[in-house]
Structure 1
């Protein structure tokens, strides 16, 4: 399942993310003050497709407050790019920054971005609904316990192989959160989410080292990372685990831990000054953030927001 398609210029475009972003702005316009909508977006009716309307109206009062706060910076950012001479008077850059900040701190944005992305994934690949219906209907508790036992053994082996306190800490954190993830899977009957996470942890990640050795392999890994992250979020059907990490979050954490422990050390030599290694990793993530913050790829932007919160909490 690859949402990327080649565009006319030879580049790639995530059609699922593009559809989700388009619906997000349609929801924003639907909540816009009627006078502003009629004046500045006269061709937009504010009408939504039924499945998008259900998302838009999941918590009407909270949603209305969020989207109405966005309406002025949104219109300013859009109109600042118009051809009229008066457009120069609008500070589009500040408006776009305000939009980013409002979205980054909003639970409404997080919830709707995930829901819209899942909606368009299921539209493009309807077979996903069969997996969701199956895991809701069948109790596979014993299989889930066995899957988490295998994950624990594997992560502990990775932890022991790290041989470095800085890297070991990352696997310690994952192991400490595994019980919460297991209870999450049992409570919500997340059999297929568990199967996918297990496959990624036990089979996909150990192959990263060789696949990241060349540009073509790195590009393929990036595409798969985006797709697997999206699939885990869809199979969970929610983005909040009250006891800890979701599978989507655990996958990203495991990728970070594996990359930190096994891949990056091949290209570094910080003997006698190991704290510089952690600084280098943070530098790489900072550069990644600068490059992809405006990518339009919902999973990556949400992951970057989560990473930013973790860094701020250190």
Structure 2
């Protein structure tokens, strides 16, 4: 059995140091509980500015919106920065593999990224969100196929797909083909319908699915942070709904709404093997004579210097 944890907590928006400190505390708590893998929500470090437009409309930008973007950039992290080093140190100290949602800064562009951190190797993988959804494209760049990374753990191979990327069938197929046994889905989607998607993926991929979403209210953001658009929960910007699901579709823990918590489950990794008697999306239930998928894993660099 392999004990895992899904962290449902509030981020500290726009404050990378404070958010990292909160993450260190939560990793310690998970380690003390005996879990070996912890999955955190999307954009846990950096923040998910739900309801904020950054002063934009078609053909319009405003100086207050640019100033808000500057603050958002200021709360992001770089892969070689001190915050990521601290996460790696916490992982090593407490013996916990970590999937952490961050806002990553690379040059002058932000990415919604999931880091995969090993106690032995530090950052062993990353996944930049391939397809930011809707207005996310205003503030986040597009990932490419070079960051479809996985992480091997004592409990099996871990892969990460962020939020509405989980609605991309070809991306899911690529992750199944990579042999993902523990499928992590950090998200900002707190709707009840998200649970149906997570159960479908568990059954389709015959994987364990671990989905983590924040519970966060308006007062977690700075007082002068604009939330221009009303959200369904009023002052509750995200209400959780984190869940752990078995390859059979059985819900092992959650979903939990409207409170901070850590979900735990003991995974019987043999359940995945047993479930493939019925179905293997990239094996005996596939039809490569009819359907094939080509995945481009080359970095999509915009500038290349050649000598």
Q: TM-score, normalised by structure 1?
A: 0.21
Give the structure with the larger helix fraction: 1
Larger radius of gyration: 1
- Which protein, 1 or 2, shows the higher relative CO under an 8 Å CA cutoff with sep ≥ 6? 2
